Amino acid sequence: MTYVVTENCIKCKYMDCVEVCPVDCFYEGENMLVIHPDECIDCGVCEPECPAEAIKADSEDGLEKWLELNAKYASDWPNITEKKDPPADAKDFDGKPDKFEKYFSAEPGQ
């Protein structure tokens, strides 16, 4: 089992999870984070820290797409080890439906 970042992170990109991760397995895209599945030690400390509730255990049903996405972009995006400020409009996007189709960016973070 590993943890994955799911759709609700898109355009919210809170980084509370980064701050508590003991193995620094988060990677930053332009408008979301992902978890490297081979680096995650399944400790689960990140899940309750996410204000957007975007982190899930990959054992939950229907997360195959997100496991693939996390694995793919963790290889392409830069590792992030320190919390940054979320986007100014993060609260406006928290909980919005269909964020992947409308807003996902494959570009790496800064």
For residue 1, pLDDT over 80 is answered with no
Residue range 84-90: average pLDDT? 96
pLDDT tens digit sequence for 37-83: 999 999 999 999 999 999 999 999 999 999 999 999 999 999 999 99
- Mean of the per-residue pLDDT values for the chain? 97
Domains of the chain: total: 1
Residue 90 lies in a domain: no
Q: Which of these, 48, 82, 66, lies nearest to 2 by C-alpha position?
A: 66
pLDDT of residue 46: 98
Q: Which domain CATH number covers 61?
A: 3.30.70.20
Residue 62 lies in a domain: yes
Q: Which of these, 43, 55, 65, lies nearest to 5 by C-alpha position?
A: 55
Residue 37 lies in a domain: yes
pLDDT of residue 53: 97
Residue 58 lies in a domain: yes
Kindly report the backbone phi and psi dihedral angles of residue 44, in degrees, each rounded to the nearest multiple of 5, phi listed first.
80, 5
Residue 22 lies in a domain: yes
Residue 99 lies in a domain: no
Instruction: Identify the residue whose tokens are 């392409």.
Output: 76
Residue 87 lies in a domain: no
pLDDT of residue 74: 98
Domain extent, residue 42, equals 3-81
pLDDT confidence bin for 101, thresholds 50/70/90: very high
